[in-house]
Amino acid sequence: MRIEAAFVISAASAKDLPRDGLAEIALVGRSNVGKSSLINALVRQRIARTSAAPGKTRLANVYRVRRGTSPAFHLVDLPGYGYARGDRGELEAIARAYFEVARPFQGRDRGAESPALPSVAALLLVDARHPGLPNDIEAWRWLHAAVDRAAIVATKIDKLSRAERQRATKTNDAVFDAPVLPVSAVTGEGLDELWKLIDQMTRR
């Protein structure tokens, strides 16, 4: 299937965000979780920079994507949050800046008074090798409560043995009240399923 993808903007604040009302999928995850690699694998182009120098403050990088005959949508790459320990509240700051300040009426609060505002869905990316990290659990709690359509994706699944996969699945089932979709940007595993999920999430 033909995929068109283009970088739109590195938004420093809400006023830089597109206002064309396209549906959005916002990607959230720890730094190094494999967000850029997954974006590139999904659109089969190197539009997102992998392992870009951290520290540059921004609100979001926005890409416009269109697959086959489906309507175009925006992939919104939010800044990565901290590593396994510390940085409590960092995700919340990143997520609040986007879901509450920049896109305040997304999801269930979208009223008739704001028809031009996009529907916003969120994908939480977790590293398949580190299931159940406290800050990922916290991130999911926050997203699940704040965003109508949210789902979890486990990256780098190619790095796990069969036994490790089973163990990770068990842990994920125990800590998340939602299914976790395993994917690999390297082997392409799970990308068809992820596209299906994205199609569902961007449909109004």
- Residues written for the chain: 204
Size of the site for ligand GDP (CB under 6 A): 18
Smallest distance, ligand GDP to C-beta of residue 69, A: 28
Select 159 or 170, whichever has its Cβ closest to ligand GDP: 159
Is 61 near ligand GDP (CB under 6 A)? no
To 5 degrees, how large is the angle CA 182–CA 188–CA 193?
A: 55
Crossing angle of the two packed helices 191-202 and 35-43, in degrees rounded to 10:
90
Select 9 or 117, whichever has its Cβ closest to ligand GDP: 9
Smallest distance, ligand GDP to C-beta of residue 51, A: 4
Select 37 or 119, whichever has its Cβ closest to ligand GDP: 37
Is 185 near ligand GDP (CB under 6 A)? yes
Strand partners, 57: none
Determine whether 191 is exposed, middle or buried from the number of CB atoms within 10 Å of its CB (0-12, 13-18, 19+): middle
Is residue 27 within 8 A of residue 67, CB to CB? The reply is no
- End-to-end Cα spacing for the chain: 22
In the block, which residue shows the tokens 């403050």? Answer: 57
161: amino acid identity, one letter: S
Smallest distance, ligand GDP to C-beta of residue 143, A: 16
Q: Binding residue for ligand GDP (CB under 6 A) from 80, 118, 182, 190?
A: 80
Restricted to residues 119-178, the positions that interact with ligand GDP (CB under 6 A) are 155-156, 158-159
Is 64 near ligand GDP (CB under 6 A)? no
Q: Binding residue for ligand GDP (CB under 6 A) from 3, 31, 45, 117?
A: 31
Q: How far is CA 41 from CA 44, 130, 187, 196, in A?
A: 5, 21, 9, 15
Binding residues (CB under 6 A) for ligand GDP: these are: 29, 31-37, 50-51, 80, 155-156, 158-159, 184-186
